[in-house]
Chain A
Amino acid sequence: MKGIALGQYYPSGSVLHRLDPRMKVIIAVLYIVTTFLAKNVTAFALLLVSMLLLIAVSRIPLRIVLSGIKPVLMIMLFTMVINLFFVGGERLLFEWKFIRIYVEGLYQAAFMAIRIVVLIVGTSMLLTYTTTPIMLTDALERLLAPLRVLHVPVHEFAMMMTIALRFIPTLMEETEKIMAAQKARGADFTSGSLVSRAKALIPILIPLFVSAFRRADDLATAMECRCYHGGKGRTRMTVLHFHLGDFVALTVFVALGAGLILANRYGFGFSM
């Protein structure tokens, strides 16, 4: 378990990894909006191309990207089927008993599928695969900082997130160790009735809770010893700066959005 970062962070050292996480959040939001702008074949083609480029730039193996799509495959198929069979139109493509498939339905289904894939892949290329969860939390804290005026405890939420993220791998590692230790004493987690399996969890959960509380206590003490008193007046060790690359990236995505709007207007092909 060690060394496995939480989520899907994949350190390939690409340009995307080096972008300022704040900019990546902004761009991701922009990209999501853009996805919903697309209306005709040209626009969707543009969207698809942008996604492929994004994958190429991220230098993340296709195998990993595909495995990221797997969880939404069912939803995708479902929306496609719904669109295929239930979208009416003028140009009948195929008819068999009560099933009628129209050209419009076919396009609609394809559009929906592309949209879902682009949404998932786009946000994961920009965020989850190329940004560590800690960096992401940091970025969100800063982007949401203005909310402090409304007395939203932004820093405290971010700190809670950071600590939780920091300790999830630790707890997972700990769980594994405790499981191994109990297995070494003949514990069995995989066979028997439901009740006996639930009972088998006790030797794992109790030591896990004991150690989680101990850790929490230690951490609180350690933080207090270092005079932690919340976010007020706190400076940072790593100060984020926007670089030229960040603005270039922003420009590219704004251009993509503009291109899509133009494609909607002047492009060709079926339009929804």
Chain B
Amino acid sequence: MSKITLENVSYVYGEGTPFEMHALRDVSFSIRENAVTGLIGHTGSGKSTLVQLFNGLTRPMAGRVLLDGADIWEKPKQIKQIRFRVGLVMQYPEYQLFEETVRADIAFGPKNMGLPADEIEARVREAAELVGLDEALLDHSPFDLSGGEKRRVAIAGIIAMRPEVLVLDEPAAGLDPRGRDRILTQVREYQRRSGATVVIVSHSMEDMARFCDDIVVLARGELVMQGKTDEVFAHADRLAQVGLNIPEISRVCAMLRARGIPMDEGIFTVDAAARCLERLLGATDGEGASTR
């Protein structure tokens, strides 16, 4: 079942000026319900432009955006309701914080939904817990937090609206590896718990391979590929053409295969490679190698 469908969508910035920029050209694809979809592409390929169409922040110049099969622009006055259903965490969301306390900031979205106070409080706590924010932090000023914490506050602010679709634009950008893993794991966990549909934008193939069920590849505003993660990564040559590399570990496996070590095809994560190696080593000398 597809949750969001794009039909022949195009988007142009600065139409009719000398700075005209075709950010999206005739893009059509759909996003599967209850799955984590990764949107990959180089910087400037139109990923951010695309995700802002999902929740009606911008309106496509041509084509339609369907949520559960209905055009989101059918009733332009109701577009706010779409924004509560499709929660968008923008790129570098830590710069949108403004309230005096973390609690109040996370509550901004739910408040705009017109929820009762106790419901808001419950949601704030739940969202903070989901993104791993300590309860003691709730009464701090968001401006006193570290960069990673600020970002988690911003993500919690969207999760607190309990959107049916959670879209995150480069949630891991600018974080250290541990912070990245943490945020992506939490997003995955949120998906599992809530059953929501999740879209993650990234240009890191490694991250995408580990956390996404489906992959959509974008290059220069056009759709290049879409499919299950392993299907997409199987087309390493096509990805290389648009300047994206398959994960490092997949290349290592390919090199090992070239040297006659029978590694499985379709390995995209270090864990999978370790399991495969363990199996191979176990088969040769009966002694389990330690992972990593």
Pairing of A with B: yes
State whether B57 touches A188 (Cβ < 8 A). Answer: no
Q: Assess whether B21 is interfacial by the CB under 8 Å rule.
A: yes
State whether A184 touches B55 (Cβ < 8 A). Answer: yes
Q: Assess whether B18 is interfacial by the CB under 8 Å rule.
A: yes
Chain A residues in 8 Å Cβ range of B14: 3-4
Q: Assess whether B93 is interfacial by the CB under 8 Å rule.
A: yes
State whether B87 touches A184 (Cβ < 8 A). Answer: yes
Interchain CB contact (< 8 A) of B52 among A10, A180, A206, A207: A180
A4 CB → nearest B CB, Å:
6
Q: Assess whether A2 is interfacial by the CB under 8 Å rule.
A: yes
Q: Assess whether A77 is interfacial by the CB under 8 Å rule.
A: no
- In the complex formed, the residue of B with least CB distance to A203 is B98
Contact with A along B166-179 (1 / 0, CB 8 A): 00000000000000
State whether A181 touches B143 (Cβ < 8 A). Answer: no
Q: Assess whether B50 is interfacial by the CB under 8 Å rule.
A: no
Contact with B along A171-214 (1 / 0, CB 8 A): 00010011011111111100000000000001100110011000
State whether A177 touches B95 (Cβ < 8 A). Answer: yes
Interchain CB contact (< 8 A) of B108 among A2, A11, A12, A185: A185
State whether A206 touches B98 (Cβ < 8 A). Answer: yes
State whether A181 touches B93 (Cβ < 8 A). Answer: yes
Contact with A along B95-133 (1 / 0, CB 8 A): 111100000000011001100000000000000000000
Q: Given contacts A2-B13, A186-B109, A186-B161, is CB(A181)–CB(B84) below 8 Å?
A: no
State whether A182 touches B96 (Cβ < 8 A). Answer: yes
State whether B113 touches A211 (Cβ < 8 A). Answer: no
Chain A: interface residue total (CB-CB under 8 A): 24
Interface majority SS (helix, strand, loop, mixed), chain B: mixed
Q: Given contacts A185-B108, A186-B113, is CB(A3)–CB(B21) below 8 Å?
A: yes
Q: Given contacts A184-B83, A185-B158, A186-B112, is CB(A207)–CB(B98) below 8 Å?
A: yes
Interchain CB contact (< 8 A) of B90 among A10, A180, A206: A180
Q: Assess whether B291 is interfacial by the CB under 8 Å rule.
A: no
Question: CA separation between A185 and B96, bound complex, in Å?
Answer: 10
- In the complex formed, the residue of B with least CB distance to A174 is B95
B52 CB → nearest A CB, Å:
7
State whether B112 touches A184 (Cβ < 8 A). Answer: no
Q: Given contacts A185-B158, A202-B98, A203-B108, is CB(A10)–CB(B83) below 8 Å?
A: no
Interface majority SS (helix, strand, loop, mixed), chain A: helix
State whether A186 touches B19 (Cβ < 8 A). Answer: no
Chain A residues in 8 Å Cβ range of B84: 186
State whether A181 touches B90 (Cβ < 8 A). Answer: yes
Q: Assess whether B251 is interfacial by the CB under 8 Å rule.
A: no
Chain B: interface residue total (CB-CB under 8 A): 29
Chain B residues in 8 Å Cβ range of A202: 98
State whether B18 touches A10 (Cβ < 8 A). Answer: yes
Q: Given contacts A186-B113, A203-B108, is CB(A4)–CB(B17) below 8 Å?
A: yes
Question: CA separation between A118 and B97, bound complex, in Å?
Answer: 49
Chain A residues in 8 Å Cβ range of B80: 186, 188
- In the complex formed, the residue of A with least CB distance to B143 is A210
A19 CB → nearest B CB, Å:
19
State whether A185 touches B112 (Cβ < 8 A). Answer: yes
A246 CB → nearest B CB, Å:
25
Q: Assess whether B88 is interfacial by the CB under 8 Å rule.
A: yes
Contact with A along B72-98 (1 / 0, CB 8 A): 000000001001100111100101111
Chain A residues in 8 Å Cβ range of B41: none
Question: CA separation between A183 and B19, bound complex, in Å?
Answer: 26
State whether A180 touches B18 (Cβ < 8 A). Answer: no
State whether B57 touches A180 (Cβ < 8 A). Answer: yes
Q: Given contacts A177-B90, A210-B143, is CB(A184)–CB(B95) below 8 Å?
A: no
Question: CA separation between A4 and B108, bound complex, in Å?
Answer: 32
B139 CB → nearest A CB, Å:
18
Contact with A along B225-244 (1 / 0, CB 8 A): 00000000000000000000
Chain B residues in 8 Å Cβ range of A4: 14, 17, 19
Q: Assess whether B38 is interfacial by the CB under 8 Å rule.
A: no
Q: Assess whether B46 is interfacial by the CB under 8 Å rule.
A: no
Chain B residues in 8 Å Cβ range of A178: 95-96
Q: Assess whether B157 is interfacial by the CB under 8 Å rule.
A: yes
Q: Which of B93, B98, B157 has the most CB of A within 10 A?
A: B98
Task: Find residues 15-54 in chain A having any chain B CB closer than 8 Å to their own CB.
Answer: none
Q: Supply 23 A–B pairs (Cβ within 8 Å), ascending by A.
A: A3-B13, A3-B14, A3-B19, A3-B21, A4-B14, A4-B17, A178-B95, A178-B96, A180-B57, A181-B90, A181-B93, A181-B96, A184-B57, A184-B83, A185-B112, A185-B158, A186-B84, A186-B109, A203-B96, A203-B98, A206-B98, A207-B95, A210-B143
Q: Which 7 A-B pairs have the closest CB atoms?
A: A186-B112, A181-B96, A206-B98, A3-B19, A185-B109, A184-B88, A181-B90
Task: List A residues at the B interface (Cβ < 8 Å).
Answer: 2-4, 10-12, 174, 177-178, 180-188, 202-203, 206-207, 210-211
Task: List B residues at the A interface (Cβ < 8 Å).
Answer: 13-14, 17-19, 21, 52, 55, 57, 80, 83-84, 87-90, 93, 95-98, 108-109, 112-113, 143, 157-158, 161
